[in-house]
Structure 1
């Protein structure tokens, strides 16, 4: 089994019929459920030692993963699980969602589970409860989860934790490299692989392309060494490596991976153990950091997780979110939120001398227009010249009339008497 998966116990949630009827009546009346109803909803968060171990609650004071997408390719998931459904997107581009959903549901809830009930007072929480989970199944069976009923609420049935066999069977039905590339195109900032990276060249080329795009790829440790993948190993609550753990040289980061309470079959919860679940915890931590510092690329994000860690067993880096947040803050100080190199100006370049010439022409036109306006506004502002012209015209007309009167000949009346000489 991958990463030393162990047997687990499944917790079942059953509500008394009278309580269910009361809740239904309240829903019909449009009333809000009272907190007393939470007594019938199991709360497994006190059992989630992983959240306390990595300091998740302290990191939640500034971010819970808002605006970040974690992609989970190659597996199916229970779309109706109350701890997961509100921030879950299932994309069936590469295969139907169905068949064995145990592995995908458990991993997804460890990364981004949001709990359920009033104010999420029941169920389990993931490391980044406000992040979005993009599930990209590659299977062809859509018949459902196939989980068996485990009995009444007080019973605990021994069921096997999801293992690597189901993962490999699902991943074989499609090219995982194409799914990773598709996840990056869909805007995933973190890609969580359900199985270790093998020696497939196409797969390693896809992880390299994702890294160049700023997407961090997280996978369980134990596969082929890939510098573009953060290989995560699991530890117990006591800090020791999981049984059948890969060697320390194959591990880039340690995270809780034993007896982790998470979403399980039949809308319930289950305790799981294995390196895939440790990788899911690390992926949730990466989502938290990316939400707080979106300007960080995949390499800076990985450095913050690894360098901002505590020393774990065998000298390996052990995930600790408060120190990782501080490390990420230092990484982000000199990185602007907008990369100026990515802002491209397609307009043609104008020579400097042409700019000066254009400015000169504009200034000359402004001066000419200003002179014309001043001359026009200052020419005979009081109308003196106009009155003078009118006066000259009137005098000229009077002189002309007088001259005509002087040029007329004097005539005598007919029949007048002549003066004797």
Structure 2
């Protein structure tokens, strides 16, 4: 069944509901103790966060701008610790255990209650986004949908070893996505397989064999959110995988130039010693490991930029031709403007010419026939003497 297995345990912590007290806080007349009673701060009790050192890197990165997809997880959309971080996509039918999904989502990216997160629980990457795609019978399809949505990290609820799921995770890895899942079931090379440990750094009961475990993370009695708008303690391998997915979101935000395999390597090689010599998740050392790798990888692909400069630039002759064309166009526009400005748009010159012709005609009429004959024949010759 999607979303967990029989080894997962959930112990609910029911919060005291105080509707009247909450309303009083909204209107500003309740004492601070009432608010603290209504929304207890569970962060000091979250041993998993302290164990992996997540708060030590929060000044540098909290996962902002990175989305972790949760295909197969049913998550309560209205939980106050997840509100605004979570997008719920029910295009694959929904369904599933909402308690498991909400708990796992909160371990990845819960941000606490209230404007200042002064209560509730926190996830490993409190500012990361979450895309939940619940489904009961099409986990491979939900994984492919998460790939199409561009989520750089995918958290699986299970790894059943099926060919369809393996094909979907292979597509995800090929698209540059890091897939994280519980170390149980199939051995998928495209999935970072995570096992859970308790506070004593021992594998939780029922863990997979050591050769199938790539990384360990806290997975026992973890304080997290539950669908009743309160908190719960959970134990199970999927919750350890959720912790690792949150850590991957932190590194992905801090070093966006790194690919999924480089982040995966940083999480494993930047670990501490766990049970039986297995790698144990530790975010600060993983972050330093990733930083060392990122030093040699620029944020911009310099080879691509060089190719653009060498082969994709505009030739000099093309620039000169463009400038010449602009100048010619400018000269033509100037000529047109001058001609238009010196023309006779209102017909003044034509009227003056017509008026001159009319005046000349009137004068000719006043001069009489004799004048016209003179104009026609010219000057009279004087008679010769003796004629």
User: Taking structure 1 as the reference length, what is the TM-score of the superposition?
Assistant: 0.70
Per-residue CA deviations over 1:181-234 (Å, capped at 9, x if unaligned) read 22122120100000124131x322221221122210000002222221100000
CA distance in structure 1 between the partners assigned to 2:248 and 2:206 by the alignment: 26
Q: Secondary structure at the match of 1:64?
A: coil
- 1:3 touches 1:246 (CA, 8 Å); kept in 2? no
1:64 corresponds to which residue? 62
- The verdict on how the C-alpha distance between 1:357 and 1:100 changes in structure 2, with shifts beyond 3 A counting, is closer
CA distance in structure 2 between the partners assigned to 1:23 and 1:54 by the alignment: 35
- 2:128 touches 2:249 (CA, 8 Å); kept in 1? yes
Matched, 1:183 2:146: yes
> Which of 233, 247, 262 is the aligned partner of 2:195?
233
Q: Secondary structure at the match of 2:116?
A: helix
> Which of 42, 45, 54 is the aligned partner of 1:44?
42
CA RMSD, 1 decimal? 3.2
Matched, 1:308 2:310: no
> Which of 14, 17, 23 is the aligned partner of 1:15?
17
Pick which of 316-325 and 41-50 moved more. Answer: 41-50
1:99 offset after TM fit, Å? 5.6
- The verdict on how the C-alpha distance between 1:38 and 1:338 changes in structure 2, with shifts beyond 3 A counting, is same
> Which of 51, 56, 61 is the aligned partner of 1:53?
51
- 2:180 touches 2:192 (CA, 8 Å); kept in 1? yes
CA distance in structure 1 between the partners assigned to 2:205 and 2:124 by the alignment: 24
- The verdict on how the C-alpha distance between 1:233 and 1:359 changes in structure 2, with shifts beyond 3 A counting, is closer
Matched, 1:5 2:3: no
2:76 corresponds to which residue? 78
Structure with the larger RCO, 1 or 2 (CA within 8 Å, 6+ apart): 1
- The verdict on how the C-alpha distance between 1:348 and 1:331 changes in structure 2, with shifts beyond 3 A counting, is closer
Per-residue CA deviations over 1:22-68 (Å, capped at 9, x if unaligned) read 235x0xxxx59874422332121122100000001101121100000
CA distance in structure 1 between the partners assigned to 2:258 and 2:235 by the alignment: 31
CA distance in structure 1 between the partners assigned to 2:14 and 2:29 by the alignment: 25
- 1:196 touches 1:224 (CA, 8 Å); kept in 2? yes
Q: Secondary structure at the match of 2:288?
A: helix
1:326 offset after TM fit, Å? 0.2
Q: Secondary structure at the match of 1:10?
A: strand
Q: Secondary structure at the match of 2:84?
A: helix
2:205 corresponds to which residue? 243
2:109 corresponds to which residue? 112
- The verdict on how the C-alpha distance between 1:349 and 1:13 changes in structure 2, with shifts beyond 3 A counting, is closer
2:169 corresponds to which residue? 207
CA distance in structure 2 between the partners assigned to 1:56 and 1:188 by the alignment: 21
- 2:63 touches 2:249 (CA, 8 Å); kept in 1? yes
- The verdict on how the C-alpha distance between 1:345 and 1:302 changes in structure 2, with shifts beyond 3 A counting, is same
CA distance in structure 2 between the partners assigned to 1:228 and 1:43 by the alignment: 38
2:159 corresponds to which residue? 196
- 2:21 touches 2:30 (CA, 8 Å); kept in 1? no
Unpaired runs of 5+ in structure 1?
Answer: 139-169, 363-421
1:82 offset after TM fit, Å? 1.1
CA distance in structure 2 between the partners assigned to 1:87 and 1:110 by the alignment: 12
Q: Secondary structure at the match of 1:331?
A: helix
Unpaired runs of 5+ in structure 2?
Answer: 323-387
Per-residue CA deviations over 1:264-290 (Å, capped at 9, x if unaligned) read 131111111010000000000000010
- The verdict on how the C-alpha distance between 1:21 and 1:116 changes in structure 2, with shifts beyond 3 A counting, is closer
- 2:24 touches 2:30 (CA, 8 Å); kept in 1? no
- The verdict on how the C-alpha distance between 1:340 and 1:4 changes in structure 2, with shifts beyond 3 A counting, is farther
- 1:65 touches 1:287 (CA, 8 Å); kept in 2? yes
CA distance in structure 1 between the partners assigned to 2:60 and 2:152 by the alignment: 19
1:260-271 matches, cutoff 5 A:
260-271=222-233
- 1:4 touches 1:244 (CA, 8 Å); kept in 2? no
CA distance in structure 1 between the partners assigned to 2:14 and 2:312 by the alignment: 72
- 1:4 touches 1:245 (CA, 8 Å); kept in 2? no
Q: Secondary structure at the match of 2:22?
A: helix
1:113 offset after TM fit, Å? 0.8
- 1:10 touches 1:269 (CA, 8 Å); kept in 2? yes
